[in-house]
């Protein structure tokens, strides 16, 4: 009979409170080593608390925790979210625009002290190297195996592909083309194409198409010439075993551009959106439902019901057949924008009021977007491009977002930009276009290939405040003009300085130069002595 007894709300609440007290006492007893159970020092490790009893994840290796089937599903859903989910696309394109933008510019910075040359000679060498890099990087036929994108566009494509797929690969085939200077090309390979040959299971030294040595370093990538499972008429699917480094020279042949690497020993990356795919999907469905409800609510329809007077006035229609009468008296009933629907006799209208727009939609939507943005290191203001708070709050959001952008830019430089630059430098030296004595020595080679990569500046909410702050940092000695110029304009300070000197010299020559306010007066130039006839 106890199973069929009804409890009052007060009794239910009392039982719940009593159970909560018992859980608390029992957990404290176990944490203290009593009660005959396993000693638990951390509440997060408890298997007795009702809130934790069903949370029993298993420990696994990086490859097991990110297995091939799960990773493929994550990649497919991430790409679909990039295509169809507004917030997901905003998160990825925001990274692309801020991290890469119009491209990360290479500024060679040879280590002249290690090379034993003068600083002036190093500047001349830097200018020569930059010219060679520009010839290659700005021409799609030079740098792209597909002859479609220049190196700056390849940077953006590599970043988007890595974010949506977890990682992307870049091979460096040697392709001769008419009208080109170099033969080093870059070909981006999507993550789908790097798999085990014929989709065989993983082995001890082969995980998802990556073959590695006993230290875990990759030695070969197994690259499919198409997409596994895709049937193309006249094309046979096969896998190429491509070495990561050249056997004789040690020259890098394949680059793996990561989205993130979270664990030691991890061989493949997870998509950028992987942790937030579930809330993204639910939020997209909720947003679409609210939008449809608002559309239906806007289509308010007026229904006209026929009364007895209408029926008596239309007795002459009784001579019509049933089908003809039905066609006249029963028009199609549908919603429309301000539509008026004529109902047949005996039909009753049912007016549905969805009460849309929902006043609680925006606060709830914003709250979920904040959580998604926190997981993606994108404050809501940056993710939504909506700045409605104070200057201080907006600036704090921008600075926090740019911390993440700078970190991801550095990863892209390490994984893609700098290796590409070094590959071109190798060929330039081999072809004799750049003279680099002692280049075979790895230490000398690194001294020659040092470079800095400058991307688009983060901008400023208040340019005057930012400029004054930059000047103050330089004044008190915690920064310098090179750092501030790169941060504020994305340009190299030396180039800015030289160009500014040329502009000032030209203005002085034209006689329209005005010294800036507060500048020290310029010394008077010595004039040539006047001739006797001029006195």
Q: What is the mean pLDDT of the chain?
A: 86
Mean pLDDT of all residues in 499-505? 89
318 domain residue, yes or no: no
Convert the pLDDT of each residue in 4-32 to its tens digit: 455 666 666 666 666 666 666 565 555 44
Place of tokens 């680099």: 436
* Between 170 and 323, the higher pLDDT residue: 170
pLDDT above 80: residue 325: no
pLDDT above 50: residue 33: no
300 domain residue, yes or no: yes
Q: Are strands 105-108 and 239-243 parallel, antiparallel or unpaired?
A: unpaired
User: How far does Cα 204 stand from its chain's mean position?
Assistant: 32
pLDDT above 90: residue 108: yes
CB neighbour burial string for 339-351, b if at least 16 within 10 angstroms, e if fewer: eebebeeeeeeee
Residues of the chain with pLDDT > 70, as a percent, come to: 79
**Could you tell me if 36 and 62 are in contact, meaning their C-beta atoms sit under 8 angstroms apart?**
no
Mean pLDDT of all residues in 188-211? 96
351 domain residue, yes or no: yes
Cα atoms found within 13 Å of the Cα of residue 382, Cβ hemisphere only: 28
Convert the pLDDT of each residue in 427-464 to its tens digit: 999 999 999 999 999 999 999 999 999 898 888 888 88
Look up residue 350 and give its two tokens: 């049912």
**Could you tell me if 356 and 293 are in contact, meaning their C-beta atoms sit under 8 angstroms apart?**
yes
Using 50, 70 and 90 to split pLDDT, how confident is the model at 326?
low
pLDDT above 70: residue 497: yes
Output the pLDDT for position 378: 97
Convert the pLDDT of each residue in 238-265 to its tens digit: 999 999 999 888 889 999 999 999 999 9
Residue 443: CB atoms within 10 A of its CB come to 9
* 3-class secondary structure, 333: coil
Please tell me the distance from the alpha carbon of residue 520 to that of residue 514, in angstroms, as a whole number: 12
Please tell me the distance from the alpha carbon of residue 209 to that of residue 215, in angstroms, as a whole number: 17
Output the pLDDT for position 36: 44
Query: What DSSP string runs through 13-82?
Result: HHHHHHHHHHHHHHHHHHHTT-TTS---S-GGG-SSSTTTTT--PPP--HHHHT-HHHHHHHHHHHHHHH
Range of lowest pLDDT (28-32, 206-210, 395-399): 28-32
Convert the pLDDT of each residue in 219-245 to its tens digit: 999 999 999 888 888 889 999 999 999
> Which of 269, 117, 116 is CA-nearest to residue 194?
269
* Between 521 and 186, the higher pLDDT residue: 186
Output the pLDDT for position 461: 82
Q: What are the Cα distances from residue 86, in Å, to 98, 181, 272, 364, 380? A: 18, 43, 15, 16, 14
Output the pLDDT for position 234: 85
Look up residue 207 and give its two tokens: 């995980």
**Could you tell me if 342 and 305 are in contact, meaning their C-beta atoms sit under 8 angstroms apart?**
no
Using 50, 70 and 90 to split pLDDT, how confident is the model at 335?
low
Ranges 38-52, 82-96, 304-318, 467-481, most confident: 82-96
Mean pLDDT of all residues in 116-135? 96
Convert the pLDDT of each residue in 468-494 to its tens digit: 998 999 999 988 888 888 778 877 788
97 domain residue, yes or no: no
Backbone angles phi, psi at 194, to 5 degrees: -100, 100
Cα atoms found within 13 Å of the Cα of residue 422, Cβ hemisphere only: 22
Cis peptide before 110 (omega within 30 of 0): no
pLDDT above 70: residue 336: no
Look up residue 339 and give its two tokens: 């539509």
pLDDT above 60: residue 314: no
Length of the chain: 535
Q: What are the Cα distances from residue 452, in Å, to 231, 265, 419, 481, 488? A: 44, 29, 13, 16, 16
Ranges 81-85, 299-303, 496-500, most confident: 81-85
Residue 137: CB atoms within 10 A of its CB come to 23
* Between 85 and 535, the higher pLDDT residue: 85
Output the pLDDT for position 28: 55
Its domain, for residue 284, covers 278-311+325-371
Please tell me the distance from the alpha carbon of residue 55 to that of residue 195, in angstroms, as a whole number: 33
Please tell me the distance from the alpha carbon of residue 143 to that of residue 245, in angstroms, as a whole number: 19
Please tell me the distance from the alpha carbon of residue 477 to that of residue 472, in angstroms, as a whole number: 9
Output the pLDDT for position 511: 87
Q: Which bin fits 44, alpha (ψ -120 to 50), beta or left (φ > 0)?
A: alpha
Backbone angles phi, psi at 203, to 5 degrees: -120, 180
Please tell me the distance from the alpha carbon of residue 82 to that of residue 90, in angstroms, as a whole number: 8
Look up residue 21 and give its two tokens: 């007290």
Range of lowest pLDDT (30-44, 88-102, 309-323): 309-323
pTM for this entry: 0.82
339 domain residue, yes or no: yes
Residues of the chain with pLDDT > 90, as a percent, come to: 59
Angle (nearest 5°) at CA 405 between 399 and 406: 90
206 domain residue, yes or no: no
Number of domains within the chain: 2
Output the pLDDT for position 411: 97
Look up residue 67 and give its two tokens: 């297995």
Backbone angles phi, psi at 230, to 5 degrees: -95, 125
pLDDT above 50: residue 361: yes
Q: What are the Cα distances from residue 61, in Å, to 203, 272, 285? A: 14, 20, 34
Give kind and range of the element (H or E) at residue 255: strand 254-258
Please tell me the distance from the alpha carbon of residue 489 to that of residue 496, in angstroms, as a whole number: 10
136 domain residue, yes or no: no
269 domain residue, yes or no: no
Mean pLDDT of all residues in 274-297? 92
Please tell me the distance from the alpha carbon of residue 24 to that of residue 32, in angstroms, as a whole number: 12
Using 50, 70 and 90 to split pLDDT, how confident is the model at 309?
low
């Amino acid at each position: 009979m106890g199973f069929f007894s009804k409890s009052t709300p007060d009794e239910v609440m009392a039982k719940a409170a009593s159970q909560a007290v018992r859980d608390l006492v029992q957990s404290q007893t176990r944490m203290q080593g009593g009660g005959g159970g396993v000693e638990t020092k951390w509440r997060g490790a408890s298997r007795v608390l009702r809130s934790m009893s069903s949370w029993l994840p298993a420990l696994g290796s990086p490859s097991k925790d990110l297995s091939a089937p799960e990773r493929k599903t994550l990649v497919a859903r991430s790409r679909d979210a990039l295509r169809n989910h507004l917030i997901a696309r905003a998160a990825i394109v925001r990274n692309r625009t801020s991290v890469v933008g119009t491209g990360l510019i290479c500024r060679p910075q040879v280590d002249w002290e290690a090379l034993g040359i003068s600083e002036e000679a190093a500047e001349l060498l830097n200018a020569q190297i930059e010219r060679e890099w520009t010839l290659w990087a700005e021409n799609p036929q030079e740098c792209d195996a597909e002859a479609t994108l220049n190196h700056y566009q390849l940077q953006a494509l590599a970043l988007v592909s890595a974010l949506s797929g977890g990682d992307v690969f870049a091979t460096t085939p040697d392709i001769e083309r008419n009208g080109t200077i170099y033969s080093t090309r870059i070909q981006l390979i999507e993550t789908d194409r790097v798999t085990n040959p014929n989709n065989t299971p993983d082995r001890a030294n082969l995980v998802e198409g990556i073959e590695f040595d006993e230290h875990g370093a990759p030695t070969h990538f197994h690259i499919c010439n198409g997409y596994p499972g895709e049937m193309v008429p006249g094309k046979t699917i096969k896998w190429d075993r491509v070495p990561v480094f050249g056997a004789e020279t040690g020259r890098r042949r394949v680059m793996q551009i990561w989205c993130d690497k979270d664990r030691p020993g991890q061989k493949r990356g997870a998509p950028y959106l992987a942790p937030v795919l579930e809330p993204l999907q639910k939020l997209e469905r909720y947003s679409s439902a609210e939008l449809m409800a608002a559309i239906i609510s806007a289509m308010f329809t007026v229904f006209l019901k026929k009364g007895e007077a209408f029926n008596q006035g239309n007795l002459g229609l009784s001579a019509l057949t049933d089908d003809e009468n039905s066609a006249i008296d029963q028009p199609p009933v549908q919603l429309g924008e301000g539509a008026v629907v004529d109902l047949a006799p005996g039909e009753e209208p049912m007016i549905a009021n969805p009460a849309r727009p929902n006043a609680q939609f925006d606060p709830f939507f914003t709250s979920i977007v904040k959580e998604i943005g926190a997981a993606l290191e994108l404050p809501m203001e940056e993710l939504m491009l909506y700045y409605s708070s104070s200057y201080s709050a907006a600036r704090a959001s921008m600075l926090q977002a740019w911390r993440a952008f700078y970190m991801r830019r550095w990863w892209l430089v390490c994984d893609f930009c700098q290796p590409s630059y070094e590959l071109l430098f190798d060929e330039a030296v081999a072809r004799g276009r750049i003279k680099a004595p002692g280049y075979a020595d790895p230490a000398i080679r690194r001294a020659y290939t040092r470079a800095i990569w400058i991307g688009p500046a983060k901008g400023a909410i208040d340019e005057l405040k930012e400029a004054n702050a930059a000047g103050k940092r330089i004044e008190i000695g915690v920064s310098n003009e090179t750092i501030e110029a790169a941060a504020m304009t994305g340009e190299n300070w030396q180039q800015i300085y030289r160009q500014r000197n040329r502009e000032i010299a030209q203005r002085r020559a034209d006689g329209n130069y005005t010294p800036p306010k507060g500048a020290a007066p310029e010394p008077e130039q010595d004039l040539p002595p006047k001739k006797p006839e001029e006195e």
